[in-house]
Amino acid sequence: MPRFAYSARDAAGNPVSAELEAPGRKDVLRILAARGLRVSSVTELTGPAPARTAARSGAGKPAARSTAVPAAAPRPARGALSRRECLPFLEALHDLATSGLSAGEAVRLLSVRIKEPRLRALSAGIWERISEGAPLSRAMAAFPAVFETSVTNLIQAGEATGSLNDTLARLISHLTEQRELRRQLVAALAYPVFMVAVAFGVIIFFLVFLLPRLKTLLTSLGGKMPFSTQLLISFSEFALSFWGLALIVAAFVGFSSFVGWRQTAAGRIATDAWLLRVPLVGPFIVSQTVLAFAQTLSVLLENGITAAEALRMTEKQIDNTVHREAFNVATARVLEGEALSVALGRTGCFPDLVLDRLSVGENTGNVVPSLKQIAAAYQRQISAQLNLFTKVIASGVLMGVFFFVGFIAFAIVSAVFQVSASFRVGG
């Protein structure tokens, strides 16, 4: 039977090194896990002939083959894994775990029963690591494209406290709220974007197809065209000329350059600071920051994450770089002993009412309930702001479309009347 040399740590954190006979590497890992040891490495000392002859020293001795965990997970059948697989996986895992299965057995069932290719590949990759002795949190941490650090830390805390099912339930609720907020934002922008696309299509139709034919007709009939019609035709000719196309290309290049500059650190800071000063947009960003702060921090603290780690993880959930930097400074003050409400008040990024609620929660020892109340209030506020955005943007787009179409109609009708009047005068 093959022999393996292993390095591990016991429950007290003391290093342990020894040799063990077992049929295979996975059996070694299972035996050591049953002994309560955390494995660092496993090296096979004796094995099949091909493995021993793969590399030889000058003295002819077989080289040892390292088999440290973990192996790469199988690739999904379609597309790469992303954040989209996080919530469905946690929901499926929670459903099986609440039925009485252990986390490892639930993952194993998902790896063979689930139909969606990417989720099945994710489950298979996690199960492979669990079967080699890794806990669920460490197995999930091997997929950073799917699970954020805050998610794996929450799972680790749930495993340590024996409340994994409760942790999964809170985590699913938190991620579901974030998903619904993104859906609301997309839904709020869908109608204005559709109206802009329709307006652009109408403009292109009039400029490319209708106005050239109208100009040919009016020119053949003779007579002087009114100023509005001349202005419209001149605009059409300029838009279809070389300089008009050059202007469109320049605008596209300028927009692309602006987007590329925003991707840089300096550009992101400058544009984020500018957005905070834009009416309607600035208050919406503040509401988003407060909601991300209250939701994330309440979930982390509720699941046993220390205040220092929770604040650092919460900082990563704030999108606006100006607010993130301010929150970083506030976190440093809190770690030095200052109250959270006082430290956040120095940033100037959080509304006074939020700070008052947080201060009350700190004074009464109910920080988590206060954060939950703040999150609920700002979730309603963001929904109201999104509805206002939809109405303002949609109204502005509709007014622009109606004005342009009305001007075109006026130009055409006035030209027709002008030509008709010239015919009557000539007759």
Q: What is the pLDDT of residue 253?
A: 93
Q: What is the pLDDT of residue 250?
A: 92
The residue ranking higher by pLDDT, 89 or 194, is: 89
CA dist list (Å): 192 to 285, 381, 394, 399: 20, 21, 5, 12
Structure tokens at 177: 């709220």
Q: Band of the pLDDT at 223, cuts 50, 70, 90?
A: low
Q: What is the mean pLDDT of the segment spanning 44-48?
A: 59
Q: Band of the pLDDT at 55, cuts 50, 70, 90?
A: very low
Lowest mean pLDDT among 34-38, 93-97, 155-159, 283-287: 34-38
Q: What is the pLDDT of residue 424?
A: 59
Cα distance between residue 204 and residue 217, in whole Å: 20
Structure tokens at 71: 């192996």
Q: What is the pLDDT of residue 290?
A: 92
218: left (phi over 0), alpha (psi -120 to 50) or beta: alpha
Place of tokens 């703040």: 374
What is the C-alpha end-to-end distance of the chain, expressed in Å?
Answer: 115
Query: In whole angstroms, how large is the CA radius of gyration of the chain?
Result: 32
Residue 42 and residue 134 in contact, taking contact as beta carbons nearer than 8 Å: no
CA dist list (Å): 132 to 14, 108, 195, 256: 21, 13, 55, 48
Domain with CATH 1.20.81.30 in the chain: 174-422
Q: What is the pLDDT of residue 191?
A: 76
Lowest mean pLDDT among 239-243, 278-282, 355-359: 239-243
Structure tokens at 353: 């009412």
Domain 3-49 classified CATH 3.10.20? yes
Structure tokens at 117: 């290719």
The number of residues in the chain equals 427
The residue ranking higher by pLDDT, 273 or 100, is: 273
Q: What is the pLDDT of residue 77?
A: 40
Interval 145-162: pLDDT, tens: 888 887 888 888 788 777
CA dist list (Å): 218 to 7, 13, 225: 91, 92, 8
Place of tokens 């100023």: 227
Distance of CA 27 to the CA centre of its chain: 39
- The residues near 381 (Cβ < 8 Å, ≥ 6 apart) are 287
What is the residue-averaged pLDDT of the chain? 79
**Sign, CA torsion 338/339/342/344:** positive
Interval 11-36: pLDDT, tens: 666 788 888 777 777 767 777 776 76
Residue 60 has pLDDT above 50, yes or no: no
Domain with CATH 3.10.20 in the chain: 3-49
Cα distance between residue 263 and residue 259, in whole Å: 7
Interval 65-74: pLDDT, tens: 333 333 334 4
Nearest CA to 126 out of 206, 84, 71 is that of 71
Q: What is the pLDDT of residue 75?
A: 45
Q: What is the pLDDT of residue 286?
A: 92
Cα distance between residue 375 and residue 257, in whole Å: 37
The DSSP-derived string for 20-87 is: EE-SSHHHHHHHHHHTT-EEEEEEESS--HHHHTTSB-TT-PBPPEE--S-PPPPPPSSS---GGGHH
The class (CATH top level) of 174-422 is: mainly alpha
The DSSP-derived string for 249-292 is: HHHHHHHHHHHHHHTSHHHHHHHHHHHTTSTTHHHHHHHHHHHH
Cα distance between residue 295 and residue 297, in whole Å: 6
The string over 369-403, giving b where at least 16 C-beta atoms fall within 10 Å of a residue's C-beta and e elsewhere, is: ebbbbbbebbbebbeebbeebbeebbeebeeebee
278: left (phi over 0), alpha (psi -120 to 50) or beta: beta
DSSP code, position 206: I
The predicted model scores a pTM of 0.64
